Every structure is written in C-alpha cells, then in structure tokens.
Amino acid sequence: MLALTLKRAWLTHLAAALGVYYPPTALFLVLSFFMIVMLVHFSMVVSKLLTQNQKLAQKVALLEAEISFKDGADPSHDSNAA
C-alpha cells in the first residue's frame, strides 16, 4: 500500500489495469479487498478457536466426572458449583 502511495506511476498503472479513471479510487479498492480478506481470515480463526474451546470444555467435564466417580462421589452433584 505504501509503495502505491509513494510511486504515483504504479498507482496510475494499477488504476488503468482495473479500469478505474481516478487512481486514488484504485487504492481504495485494493485496500477494501485486503480488509475483506483479513476479516474472513479472522472469522475462520475465531471459528476454529470456538470449536477447540468447546472440545476442551467437554474433555474437562469428562475428566471431572471420572475423578468424582473414582472418589466415590455422585458426579451429578459438584461440590465446587456455586
């Protein structure tokens, strides 16, 4: 992005390649495209982390139930619950 702002000729060529008559508009289009790509990427990362968090919570619950069962306590009654 910085290169396109410093080299006006590059921006002019990019605008011509995109069919845009006003070169700063081409810069805005390129910036918008990269922002959309970044947002989609972050959305995918958050979805993956959500899935991992759910799996981790399920594993922790199973391990707590197993510990309670081995201690002879009723796993449906958690002594740590508020």
**Dist CA 55 CA 15 (whole Å):** 48
Taking only Cα atoms into account, the Rg of the chain, rounded to an integer number of angstroms, comes to 27
pLDDT at 14 over 90: no
Band (pLDDT 50/70/90 cuts) for residue 11 is confident
28 touches 12 (CB < 8 A): no
Band (pLDDT 50/70/90 cuts) for residue 1 is low
pTM for the whole thing?
A: 0.63
pLDDT, tens only, 66-78: 999 998 866 566 6
8 touches 23 (CB < 8 A): yes
